[in-house]
Structure 1
């Protein structure tokens, strides 16, 4: 409201000089304004520039070309005007510093320190210039509006405002404490219900999961046995060869583990290296059911994979190093002729 009143007052003051000559107590209206008169609504919000080099050369009739302001330093904008009781402009409140209105501060500048320079091509447009710089304005004392104006504008005195603030603060505090208690009680209740629901759901899910795991394991074991049996029906079964190798002896099943066999080299009955043991297939009780052999190929490329029973293999262990060699009574060509094993 203060800004609107100030704007209206400045408009009335600037748009007619005749009213200043009207005797006190009389009333008068006007229907025209002079060509050079300026409305307050056009004045407030106007950018203000530092034109230190050109300032002294500007007079009442000075004009500048459009775009000249780009050579001046933009200091801020007109935020408000201050009038005395006679309607005269005492000062102009400039908003300086900051960015996009944030961090900006008000500085009150005497109206006589500001010059209005008309644009040559547009007589209705003008620029506001001062003979100072940004640093000076930003370091100037900040203009603060008196508190009495604020309290008068809202129609209460400082003591009444203080009492109102205290009452509002107490009411807000009581409301906050009550709301805080309600929220805490609601939270505790919801937490308890969620905990009970979680435990019930957890037990049900665990039961269902265990049943599903057991069912899947059983189905998997049966499927694996059927697949192994079906695979054996499609291939030739071999007999473990009788191997007599100096420095080696037959390795018993209870002396072998997965580390011994996985990666062990595979030999035919002529002691020719024809592949390796790639992996082991275990029975449900954990014993070895089959050995998956990679036959032929080179460095893992073009290998032919088959699976054989453990009783088709002769496993020899070095008496000195403990190294394992695996033998089968079949040539590389015979093994590559067997159907491919899909694990």
Structure 2
């Protein structure tokens, strides 16, 4: 998945457009090898909010891309432009992976790419999407939906989650984490996580867990308990749980398990360590425990996960297919 094309036209939301350009436009420090080749494709000068954008190419270049991203569509009461819809459909028919951010789902739905599939968009517009496109199974309660060749996200922050998910699929979790670290955003939120959390998430570095979370990440090889975390944070277990729910949207134990699984993914992708060694390095104790939790969370056993990513990396290195977007 080397080439990423942003499909733009008048009326796009500038936040999602800029977000995708930032994520796929340049590689983070420490990433070896070539990064994505990004192209912005549109019918001519495009206005996104107060910004005027000059695309690199016309919409007819979309079918040459490996991944086509459709940013948010501002006026959902208006039908998306026919030339944009036709170009996105043509790209999918040519084999491109097609992705919508926020209300870009209305473009994909208009192209018929979501018929019979589960999809999402910003929670405020899920009813409109479902009413206008009854063949689409709209899920209003998730951050993003991955159908393989067609992916949709909810709004704003969830668009970032989906972009990081794409990098995780293409380049592995270690690279996705480097991108997240550069952008100072959470490295991973599952697509099935709820869009709306009643308690706001405090700004990074300005919440009661700001010192605790990095401390835990440096000790994932240790058998930490909720009591250990509460003692380190100098608060009761009940108060710790309250702060975790407000800050991360989940419980201390679930957050800790997620971090252990993420670390296991990195080790499986980047080392030849045995499953027993990975289990010890992630605080899982035994290979049996690691396999049980890893399979439940990731959907694959550790050996299959490692083989899948190793195979993908080799096939990317041997892939001689190039798309001329210049």
Quickly name the TM-score band, shorter chain normalised: under 0.3
Name which one, 1 or 2, has greater alpha-carbon Rg: 1
Structure with higher strand content: 1
Q: What TM-score results when the alignment is normalised by the length of structure 1?
A: 0.19
Structure with higher helix content: 2
Q: What TM-score results when the alignment is normalised by the length of structure 2?
A: 0.20
